[in-house]
Structure 1
């Protein structure tokens, strides 16, 4: 497996963001920014199940930040560090710091909606992959986020059998700070309109697990995009990340 390296980039508000990279040893890889999902990390989403190693072995330089509140990045509890759109701003800041202008962009779940937000705000990847995402996950975030806010608020009460038990268990295993997580969920992520989605011009792959409709309809999302298609891989929302099919589909599209 290619070597994984980690550095930190400091956001304008002082938050330190961990950035992991994996690519050809000679530095010749094509950059691809890979954005992980909620309560996950670059390690969990992209490295553990082989997706980044596969891309690196095929000539890609995988650039994988941990979002603030996640992984090896800071988890500030100052509300001022959670301005609307801050994750998209973090992604853009990382690319500016690295001096990259020609790259691809891949996101899964929260990473996918952040990728869309970042493109709406000005990022211009050659190709775009939106994993684990449907139209309603972009246009109806407030409804979707209510589940996670309720889980955070009821954290100490949730037991096995509760609909939120799996999300709580994943959050706990990842060591997520609950105060910081609630600020991120309620302040930092905004809805995206259908009109904004319709202005995303680059070729886009909507990549979805066959049993995943957690974020709405992938078909409706593809229809809202000017140049997009849907590809189905095995698994549900969380399970699809563990399948090699996900990484292979990303590689095939980017190549």
Structure 2
């Protein structure tokens, strides 16, 4: 992977294809490869004529590992994404984030609207406003000596996923312990770029798609049938909706 210095933090990224740029921002405990390459997303977007950039968020994948929760604010992680665009000399890009990555994408869109052409918020819908609970349980599960010691089901799911992705458990614990500044409905209502909101029908972590769509002017929403937070990522319906959204000059999903 390639690397650059983002405000003193070593950030890893990768690229593929040629065409209009798309930046992909992964979710908590994942990384660019697991979230976007292994699920077929990079190939899908390259085949659709895009140049695709994947970033490993701080504390994740091959990026620098930090152990102070104060260094993991979503706003600062959005600045990592903005600095990557600067590093690549990309004036404006389409940006898609999944789960935590959707939150980062939202902050990037709100704070740097001139850098985002279109935004896809996936795996996080109404909970972007209300917040997602269970952070402390997840942190404690990551800090446990063994996964067998984790009793909370939600925390155990993240612990096992983090082990599967060979993540630094203590860095992830610091990340999930960071102060979660909520995004207000007023901030989201100020977004003027085309937005697509996507989440699985059975995704209790993401919350309700239509609630978030109603807040953002002109936003569109797609609910992926029968999918939850973990298995929606590589879904065909999700991919087809995003490819259509990015293809259309007005940021519309054909047939929605």
* TM-score range relative to shorter protein: 0.7 to 0.9
Shift of 1:145: 2.6
- SS of residue paired to 2:120: strand
Which of 138, 157, 166 is 2:157 aligned to?
Answer: 166
Instruction: Tell me what 1:63 maps to.
Output: 53
Which of 228, 241, 244 does residue 252 from structure 1 map onto? 244
Q: Give the Å deviation of 1:157.
A: 5.9
Alpha-carbon distance change, 194 to 43 in structure 1, aligned in 2, over 3 angstroms: same
Instruction: Give the deviation of 1:153 after TM superposition.
Output: 4.2
1:167 is paired with a residue of what secondary structure? helix
Please give the alpha-carbon distance, in whole angstroms, between the structure 1 residues aligned to 2:213 and 2:71: 33
2:119 equivalent among 118, 121, 128: 128
Give the Cα separation in 2 of the matches to 1:212 and 1:160: 22
Q: Is contact 2:140–2:173 with CA below 8 Å preserved after alignment?
A: no
CA distance 1:147–1:224, change in 2 (3 Å): farther
The 1-side partners of 2:26 and 2:150 are apart by 26
Q: 2:6 aligns with which of 2, 6, 11?
A: 11
**Displacement of 1:147:** 4.0
Report the CA distance between 1:219 and its aligned residue: 1.1
Name the CA shift for 1:162/1:140 in 2 (closer, same or farther; >3 Å).
closer
Instruction: Return 5+ residue gaps in structure 1 as ranges.
Output: 1-5
Q: Deviations over 1:5-42 (max 9, x none)?
A: x3111111x21111111113xxxx10011111111111
Confirm or deny that 1:20 pairs with 2:14. Answer: yes
Deviation track 1:39-97 (CA, whole Å, cap 9, x = no partner) reads: 11111111112111111111101111011111111112355644562211111111111
Deviations 1:119-142 (A, max 9, x none): 12224312111111112234424x
Cα gap change, 1:240/1:80 in structure 2, threshold over 3 Å: closer, same or farther? closer
Root mean square deviation of aligned Cα: 2.1
**2:244 match: secondary structure:** helix
Tell me if structure 1 keeps the 8 A contact 2:69–2:176. no
Which position in structure 2 is the counterpart of 1:236?
A: 228
Q: Secondary structure at the match of 2:159?
A: helix
SS in 2 for 1:49: coil
Three-state SS of the structure 1 residue aligned to 2:228 is coil
Q: What is the CA–CA distance in structure 1 between the aligned matches of 2:152 and 2:111, rounded to whole Å?
A: 38
1:92-127 Cα deviation digits (max 9, x unpaired) = 111111111121111110000110011122243121
Matched position secondary structure for 1:187: coil
TM-score (norm. length: structure 1): 0.87
C-alpha distance in 2, partners of 1:204/1:83?
A: 23
Q: 2:35 aligns with which of 30, 42, 45?
A: 45
Question: What is the SS of the residue equivalent to 1:241?
Answer: coil
